[in-house]
């Protein structure tokens, strides 16, 4: 049995005058987190660096040696700041299959344990990154005469942001009485 769509229910973009009529929704950036803005800055710096590398290599036939190393570090910075966005939205990869079949009390306790372990992991990663920075001391980048601790500092800041966001997510889960593992259809805006 074939189902034909109701043409009256579909959005109309062509007016009676034969012209295309479509309007975009208002852009709302009010919910954009600080981590997202920082990740955007790193992403654009990465894009500009890669463009400069492409331009010097293929247009000028004289590749800038520093661009490859800096692009790698900017990619690291983009990933670690962007990961904090995933923690804030609580949409990292998770397995919620077994939570559907567990008794409610057990699934809630286990989900809160997941929140505690995740927070502890990010806290430990922040501390371990700080320790590694102490051991590196004045170690420099390979091509650019800058300290490697700049890169590891961004990684540590990313882990710290993930840890703080994880505490925030855990608090929301405690307040509302369920987690995303128990109700995957919910999101962090459901209260």
pLDDT digits (tens, 9 = 90+) for 86-132: 998 887 777 777 777 888 888 888 888 999 999 999 999 999 999 99
DSSP 59-89: ISS---THHHHHHHHHHHHHHHHHHHHHHHH
Q: How confident is the model at residue 24 (pLDDT cuts 50, 70, 90)?
A: confident
Give the integer Cα–Cα distance in Å for 72 and 111. Answer: 36
Give the integer Cα–Cα distance in Å for 40 and 1. Answer: 48
* Contact partners, residue 115, CB within 8 Å, separation at least 6: 166, 169, 170, 173, 179
Backbone angles phi, psi at 141, to 5 degrees: -65, 160
What pTM was computed for the model? Answer: 0.79
SS3 140: strand
């Amino acid at each position: 049995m074939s189902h034909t769509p109701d043409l009256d229910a579909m959005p109309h973009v062509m007016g009676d005058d034969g012209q295309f009529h479509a309007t975009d929704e208002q852009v709302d950036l009010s919910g954009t987190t600080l981590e997202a803005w920082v990740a955007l800055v790193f992403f654009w710096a990465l894009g500009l660096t890669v463009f400069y590398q492409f331009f010097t290599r293929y247009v000028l036939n004289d590749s800038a040696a520093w661009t490859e190393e800096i692009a790698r570090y900017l990619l690291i910075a983009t990933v670690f700041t962007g990961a904090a966005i995933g923690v804030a939205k609580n949409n990292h990869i998770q397995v919620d299959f077994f939570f559907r079949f567990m008794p409610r009390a057990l699934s809630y306790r286990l989900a809160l344990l997941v929140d505690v372990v995740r927070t502890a992991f990010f806290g430990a990663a922040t501390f371990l990154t700080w320790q590694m920075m102490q051991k590196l001391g004045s170690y420099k980048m390979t091509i650019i005469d800058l300290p490697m601790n700049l890169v590891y500092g961004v990684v540590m800041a990313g882990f710290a942001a993930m840890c703080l966001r994880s505490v925030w997510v855990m608090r929301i889960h405690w307040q509302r009485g369920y987690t995303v593992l128990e109700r995957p259809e919910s999101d962090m805006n459901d209260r």
